[in-house]
Chain A
Amino acid sequence: MSLTTVDLSLGYDDQNVIEGLNLTFEKGQMVSILGPNGCGKSTLLKAMARLQKPSAGQVVLDSVDINTRDTRALAREMAILPQAPLAPEGISVADLVKRGRTPWRGFLSPWRDEDAKACHDALAAVQMQDLAERPINELSGGQRQRAWIALVLAQNAPLLLLDEPTTFLDLVHQIEVLSLLRKRNKETGLTVISVLHDLNLAARYSDQLVLLGHQRLVAAGTPDQVLTAANLSDAFGLKARVDPDPVTNTPMVIPL
C-alpha cells in the first residue's frame, strides 16, 4: 500500500497554495509534514484525506484516485483526525470512541463483537480504559486528545492522518501522544502521517519527513536528509545549526 500525490495542486479561490506536488508515502511508516505557517501543510493533509478537492492532479491510494472512490469504503482504509473536532455536550469517552465504528456499521445493523473489540483495543492503546465512562469535557487537554485518537484508532483503518495532533498540548503530553502513535505504528504496522510543528520531536518520532516551503516542496526523506541548515533556511528563512540529538542521535535543530 502506498499513498501518492501526483502533480497535486491545491488552493482556495483560484489561488494555489501548493503546486505540482509529487510525493509518495510508504506503508508502515511514520511520516511528519513540516513547514512554516500558511505553507499549506493542513491543506495537503485534507486533500490526502479527500476533505478538499485538488484544483489539479490526484491523490492516489493503491493505484486508485481517492476522489473516485466510495467515501465509506475509503473510511475503512484511512482515518483522519482534524485539527479541532467537536465534542457533543456531555458525551462520555466510550460513546465518543464508539462513533469511530461508523464506516463499519450498516444501516440498522446491531453492535457486534468486533465493534466492541475495536473500541476496547483503541481505549487500551491510549491507556484510557479507566476513564471510559467519564464525560470528555471533564478531562484534561492531553486526555481529551488521547480520546480523539482512540476514536480514529477504533476506525481500524491501516492509514491514519492527523492534523497537528500535539498543537495545544504541553511537552509531556506531546511526547505521550507521539509515543503512543509510534507504539501503534511498530506493533500493528499502522501508517501515520501527521502535520507537526516541533521539528525536533518530528525528527525523533518519524521515519520520513516532508518539508514544505511557500507553495513548494523543499525536501522529503529521512530526518537526516531533510533537517539540514540549508533546507531550514530555505523553508523557514531560519538560520540554524543542526547537531545530533544527544539522546536519540536524530537531528536536532538549534536556532542561531
Chain B
Amino acid sequence: MRGPVFMICLLCGTVVASLIFGQSSLSIATLWEGMTTGTGPGALMINTIRGPRVVTAFGAGAVLGLSGALFQALFRNPLAAPDIMGFTSGAGLAIIIAVAFGINAPMPLVAAIGGLVAAGCVGLITHQKGHVPAPLTLILVGLGVGFFSSALSTFLLTLLAHNEAAEAQRWLTGSLAARDWSHATQVWIIGGVLTAVSLGQMRNLAALELGPDLAAGLGLRVGAARWLLSGTAVLLAATGVAVAGPVPFVALMAGPMGIRMTGAQSLTSKMLSGAGAGALVLMLADLAARAALPGIQLPAGVMTGILGAPYLLWRLSREMKRGEL
C-alpha cells in the first residue's frame, strides 16, 4: 500500500472530499457537472467558495511540510521544525505588526522578514565561536523565541479594532477562511520557486547529513551550506504562514508521516513526501474544521493542534526512550 502512487491517490481523494463536504454537502454528480459545464452549484463551489480555499490549503500545507522535512534532515532531529523552533510564530508576528501599524507591504515579504528575524535570533542566541550548536539547543531556544513572538502577537491584538482583532485572532490560530485565488496563486508560485531552490541543494544536504567534519572533508563549505538551506526552509514556512497563518504542528508531523506513507529512500523523494503529507494534513484539518460541528467554522489550526500536540508528546517520549533527549 505504500509508495508515491498511494500518496497521490490520497491527495486527489482529499481534494475531492474537501470540495464536496462542508457545512452543506454536494453530490459528486453536481461537482462533476460544475467541473465539466462550468455552471450550477458545483461550479460555484469550485470557482468561488471552496476551490480557492482547498488549493490554498494544499499549497500552504505542502510548503510547511517541505520546510519541516528540510529542517529535520538538516538538524538530524525529528523535533526540528519551523513551528517548534518559533519561525512560523515569528512570521505571524511580523504580519500582525504590519496590520496593527497599517504597514502596506506584500504579506509574503512581511512573513519572510518575520521568519528570518526569528531564525536570526535563534542563531545569535545559540552562537558559540567555533562550535556548531547541538540540535536540541536550537530547538529549545527556538521554542522560547516562538513563545515570545506569540505573546507579542496577542498583545498587539489589543491595538486593533474589535472586529479586526477577532479576525486576526482567528488567523493567528491558523485559518484558511476567506481565501481567494490570489492567495492560492501566491502560495503556489512562490512555493514552487522555493521548492526548486531547495531541491537544488539536495547534494549539500546529503553531505551535511553525514556530520560537519565529513561534509567539510567532502569539499562542502559547511557554514554557508547550512545557512543557505535553513534560509530556504524558513522562507518556505513563511510562504505558508502568509496565506494560512502560523498553523501549528503541520511542519512537525509532515516529514516522518510522508516518509512512512511513501517509503521514500532518496533525499529528494523524502522531501517531496514531506510536502505531500503537509498538504494532506492541512487540507484534512481544514475540512474537519469546516464540517465537524454544524453551524460552527473552526480555524484549521485548532484541528492541527488537536492532532499535533499528542503527536509531539508521543515523539518526545520516544526520543527520551531512545536516549536522544
A71 at interface by CB-CB < 8 Å: yes
Known: A95-B265, A105-B203, A107-B200. A88 touches B210 (CB 8 A): yes
B211–A108 touching, CB < 8 Å: no
- Assembly CA distance A35 to B207 (angstroms): 31
A82 adjacent to B213 (CB under 8 Å): yes
Complex interface bits, B211-248 against A, C-beta within 8 A gives 1, otherwise 0: 10110111111000000000000000000000000000
**Contacting residues, chain B, for A152 (C-beta < 8 A):** 217
How far, in whole Å, are A51 and B212 apart by their CA atoms in the complex?
Answer: 9
**Is A102 in contact with chain B by the CB < 8 A criterion?**
yes
Interface residue? B319 (CB, 8 A): no
The interface bits of chain A over 77-113 (1 if a CB of B lies within 8 angstroms of the residue's CB, else 0) are 0111110111110101001000110110101100000
Q: Number of contacting residues on B, CB 8 A? A: 20
Rounded to whole Å, the gap between the CB of B141 and the closest CB of chain A is 22
How distant is the Cα of A103 from the Cα of B221 in the complex, in angstroms?
11
Q: Which B residues are CB-close (under 8 A) to A81?
A: 214, 217
Which of chain B's residues 27-68 have a Cβ closer than 8 Å to chain A?
none
A123 at the interface (CB under 8 A from B): no
Q: A49 within 8 Å of B by Cβ?
A: yes
A51 lies within 8 A of B213 (CB) = yes
Say whether B214 contacts A80, CB under 8 Å: yes
A51-B203 contact given A86-B76, A86-B210, CB 8 Å threshold: no
Contact bitstring A20-51, B, C-beta under 8 A = 1, else 0? 00000000000000000000000000100111
Contact B213 A85 (CB under 8 A): yes
Interface membership of A74, Cβ < 8 A: yes
Docked pose: A19 CA to B207 CA in angstroms: 32
| Cross-chain contact A102 with B207 (CB below 8 angstroms) | yes
Contact indicator A79/B217 (Cβ below 8 Å): yes
| Residue of A51, A74, A88 with highest tally of chain B CB at under 10 A | A88
State how many angstroms separate the Cβ of A164 from the closest Cβ of chain B: 13
- Judge whether A102 and B219 touch: CB under 8 Å: yes
B206 contact set on A, CB distance < 8 A: 99, 102
User: CB < 8 Å: which of B213, B219, B265 contacts A75?
Assistant: B219
Secondary structure at the B interface, as helix, strand, loop or mixed, is loop
Check: B164 CB closer than 8 A to any chain A CB: no
Q: Closest CB of chain B to A99's CB: distance in Å?
A: 5
**What is the size, in residues, of chain A's interface with B at 8 Å between Cβ atoms?**
33
The chain B residue with its CB closest to the CB of A155 is B218
Pick the most buried of B210, B217, B218, B219: most chain A CB atoms within 10 A of its CB: B217
Using Cβ atoms and an 8 Å threshold, which residues of chain B touch A155?
218
Q: With A84-B211, A85-B210, A95-B265 as given contacts, are A50 and B216 in contact (CB-CB < 8 Å)?
A: yes
Residues of B near A85 (CB, < 8 A) are 210-211, 213-214
Partner of B218, one of A50, A75, A108: A75
Q: In the complex, A40 Cα to B203 Cα: how many Å? A: 32
Interface string of A152-170 (1 = CB under 8 A from B): 1001000000000000000
Query: Which residues of A are found within 8 Å of B219, using beta-carbon distances?
Result: 71-76, 102-103
Kindly list chain B residues whose C-beta atoms are within 8 Å of the C-beta of A107: 200, 203
In the complex, the answer to whether B217 meets A75 with C-beta atoms within 8 Å is yes
- Residue on A nearest B216 in the bound complex, by CB: A51
Chain B residue nearest in CB terms to A100: B218
> Considering the chains assembled together, what is the distance between the CA atoms of A103 and B217 in angstroms?
9
A12 to B129, CA, bound (A): 11
Residues of A with C-beta under 8 A to B210: 85-88, 99
Interfacial chain A residues near B207, Cβ < 8 Å: 99, 102
**With A95-B265, A102-B203, A102-B206 known to touch, is A82 a contact of B214 (CB < 8 Å)?**
yes
B209 within 8 A of partner (CB): yes
The interface residues of chain A lying within 8 Å CB-to-CB of B203 are 102, 105, 107
Q: Complex: how many Å from CA A147 to CA B146?
A: 41
Does B217 contact A80, Cβ atoms closer than 8 Å?
yes
The 5 closest A-B pairs by CB, nearest first: A75-B219, A72-B219, A103-B219, A82-B213, A80-B217
22 chain-A/chain-B pairs, Cβ below 8 angstroms: A49-B217, A51-B216, A71-B216, A71-B219, A72-B219, A75-B219, A76-B219, A80-B213, A80-B217, A82-B211, A82-B214, A85-B211, A85-B213, A86-B211, A87-B210, A88-B73, A90-B265, A99-B206, A99-B207, A100-B218, A102-B220, A108-B200
